[in-house]
Structure 1
Amino acid sequence: MTRALVPRLPVAPGVYRFRDERGHVLYIGRATELRYRVGSYWTDLGKRRHLARMVPQITRIEALTCDSVHEAAWLERNLLERSKPRWNRIRGGMEVPFCIRLADFTVQAAHWPPAASGGLVFGPYLGGTQARLAVSALERVMPLRYTGDRLGGSQRDMAAIRGVGAGDRDRFVELITAVLRREPAAVAQLRSRLVELRDRASERLGFELAARIQQEIEAVDWVVAEQKVTTLVPGGDAEAYGWADGVLVRFQIRSGRLSGWEQRKCSRAAAEPHLARTPAQWRDFAGRNAELATRLVAESVRPGS
């Protein structure tokens, strides 16, 4: 019965969890494509053979779709920091949280939360490698470090080679800020320029450089992907609700992080007060995941389990 639910999962990034017949959470994981990742537990576990003994215990599948793989990675981390199920090996996640800081004519990747104050801080992002590669991409197209007023000899030489100076500073700051704020036009402009540089390097047989720039493009895609389950905003406690076909799903946001979700049977009338106080930015997320919850509810699941 449980395996038969797999086709009801979307081919989309998200987080899934397995429960046993008593309602206990067995495992939490994330997926680039939920349907295929969850389905793999009944086909080929690959390097996850230690989970073979868990699979027969699964009686319920629950899942949330996310707006990006990055968002799914953060959500998995938040859930595992709060509670580690028996079959998960580690609490939290493998990736290190980073942010990107724009200050003093430089753009740099830093651990989150940043130790230094001042300037503009963007993120957080999961993965120091991805954050550093994204910074490298920004500097490749907008070399802000070479627009300062007090450059050393080698920096002046590089500024001359790159054809930039103090007059470019404000433009670079504006463009970098727009990219890190996920403004579509700025992101498209940066990505287009990186693709151009990658292809030019490849045409000149600079395959290592082309490969490096491709990594930077992928890192830019990672940091600008929609991600709202973990924010830099302090406080941020809230609850969000979604309802569909008799199932109410409750999402717990604590200190700006979505860190828990529950679902139960509920009438539309009883759900209305909860839906009315759901923050606007969470309504689409909550609504579509309530619809997913109804598709995954099996007849064997007891109310309130």
Structure 2
Amino acid sequence: MPEDFNLKSFLADLPPLPGVYRHIDAQGEVLYVGKARDLKRRVSSYFQKTHSSPRIAHMVARVVRVEVTVTRSEAEALLLENNLIKRLKPRYNILFRDDKSYPYLMFSGHEVPRIAYYRGSTSGKGRYFGPYPNAWAVRETIQILQRVFRLRTCEDSVYANRSRPCLLYQIGRCSAPCVDLISKEDYQADVLRATRFLDGHADEVLRDIEQRMQQASRALEFEQAAMLRDQMGALAKVLQQQSMEQVGSEDADIVAVASAGGRVCVNLAMVRGGRHLGDKPFFPTHTNEDSPGDVLAAFVAQHYLDSALPPILVFSHRLPDPGLMRLLAEQKGVKPRVLVRPQGVRKTWLEQAAKNAEMALARVLTESSARAARTLALATELDLDTDEAALDALHIECFDISHTAGEATQASCVVYKHHAMQPSLYRRYNIAGITPGDDYAAMRQVLTRRFSRVADGQAEMPGIVLIDGGKGQVEVARRVFVELGLDTGVIVGVAKGEGRKVGLETLVFADDRPPVALGVESAALMLVAQIRDEAHRFAITGMRAQRAKARNVSRLEEIEGVGARRRQRLLARFGGFSGVVDASIDDLRSVEGISDELAERIYQALR
């Protein structure tokens, strides 16, 4: 402990109130964040002679300071604890990777609602169903609704400017309300049936369609009766496929924990309206010595503070602290029913979720083992530290340049760490102020911008800096590093082989080491090629997006008669440049300020 921190006095002064505590080491790094109903009792327990596990003992040995924040309630402490865990990522907390928000299926607030895949806040107009575990589950549901209820999916701007039915009407996936082939009242009735179906009242919807079919038949409206017969058949087929899944109209989450090979998988299965929507596996870090119940508790706290809490939760293990659900219920305003030993179909759901967790974990362990072997092979070839911890921490950055004849030049930087690519750490750099097509100048610019921060102590120095290029590019990198006072031994160039064939690449170095040809079968070369190809892909996509953006605007500007105001109206009406390209002459002439002649000129110019 530092001299200015008196542990005995600190513990004596702690209040017996709810709050959050943070264990901090000599470097100022937060090692662990926890919540407590009674701060005095909880924090004092860490500094007893015996500890609950070697891991806790190891952490406490590094603690030099403890900080606490008193809260008004334990529920408020729970919220603060998880916000700090997500922001600080302490090494002794169980961490679940922050993911994108879960997708929803949306019925828009339009008078003729569209169905759409949606991510984001659900406070806007319209009705939202979900959340769904993944995008595939949403799109599969949209296809079912199109097939059974023939609901539109087009943007409102497209809907407002249709002059004839689209292809979806031709293949029986939309009833074409855009051109009044179905009345608004009848379409809205189909929307209501679709929402009833998603709410779990599929049998009721099926009976309603059957009655309408019989009425149409009695009224000799055979075409309408045939359409309803097909609709009923499509819905019956969907229900038959899901007959093993139906339990009324309930919403439930099933959470199963599996562990093997030092890794843990938490598998989340979602049931909405009685329909099993699919699974999503999570792989937390920092789970050494933690029981399945501890991992489950960490997942429940971190996941449900940001996600909807369903009325039923089915868990594979008991929570160590039953008070956790009480705190969550207080925060979310929902008191779920928690089942640990479910019966009937819920038991089947849990068994399947556990099986899927085991399968996902086996897959990750296999992939992780293969990735670790490639990292070891590369470290061995480059005479780097091959200790397990050093290999896991090996930080590789790869740089590539991309442009088209000098246009829209971009540099990419991709990162490999912990035996995997790290997309959240990727960076793109727009290159300016150079002669178009000068790749050496572009490489010099990006390396100077990136490693000036390393030289200033503001960023971490990678263990390997891969350069997609041969001696020329490596020499550029060497000069930049010399100017910045950095170690040139980390620079490795990837020179393409004869005919640019994969497997014939040579590693080129910035120091006195001779070039190395690893060979087609080399695991080290497989890793280098993977990282290099990812850098190339990332640079290409960025360059194309930048080029397309510049070209699209200029293509409209080049059309005689299309000034800034008309261009703005076109882009607003059709939702962007691609919408303008897809518009017909009739669609274009419907825009204010666009004459028949100008509409035809725009139509031809964009083709």
Q: Which has the higher contact order (CA 8 A, sep 6+)?
A: 1
Larger radius of gyration: 2
- Output the TM-score relative to the length of structure 2: 0.18
